[in-house]
Amino acid sequence: MAIPYGILGSASQWHLGANDNTIGGWLVVCSYVVLGYLCWREFIRQLSSTGTSGRVLSALFWFVLSVGVTALGINKQLDLQTLIMAAGRRVALTEGVIRYRRLLEGGFFGIILIASVFSAAILWKLGRHASEHGRRVLVGTGLLLGFLIFRAAKIEHVGATITNVPHRLLIVAELAASAFLSLAVWWNSRESRG
């Protein structure tokens, strides 16, 4: 189902359906399903356990991570950022601020970068007190966060060389980051149960 021209601009910009209908795209979706399941399971286990002392990766951490990877899995095929960018472009056109487009895009990327640096600082602080398996979860989370920063820079055209990265390489990087995080969450879960 394509969005009509009058709402967002060109009808070819976004459509409801699989937007990365490749084997690699679906492998990434599957990895997010597995990762989401593992994270939600760990979150529920954290909520149901009685002893919380000494835990660095709290239920709040697992909740935020679970929501994040679930959103990434849903967005992998829907490409909601394309819909949001098209809607923003349409609003900028109607409000007459389209001439400031590069400034707005740069500001949006700056917000993402600041939020990512803040998140990395939190991960670093948690990592100083986490177990070995907990550190793997934090490293995997950092890798996925790094991929997202890179992907946002590619979308926002920050740096000319970033936009030339082949799609297959992006799929491999996203699959590697999500697979590593899945293994780290699984190892952490086994350690905390044992």
**What would the pLDDT profile of 84-124 be if each residue is shown by its tens digit?**
777 777 888 888 887 887 887 788 878 888 988 899 999 99
pLDDT at 8: 44
Better-scored residue on pLDDT, 142 or 89: 142
At residue 15, φ and ψ (nearest 5 deg) are: -145, 150
Q: For residue 23, with 0-12 CB atoms within 10 Å meaning exposed, 13-18 middle and 19 or more buried, which class applies?
A: exposed
pLDDT band at 155 (very low <50, low <70, confident <90, very high): low
pTM over 0.75: yes
CA 91, CA 158: separation in Å to the nearest integer? Answer: 22
Which of the residue ranges 22-36, 106-120, 176-190 would you say has the lowest mean pLDDT?
Answer: 106-120
* SS3 category, 52: coil
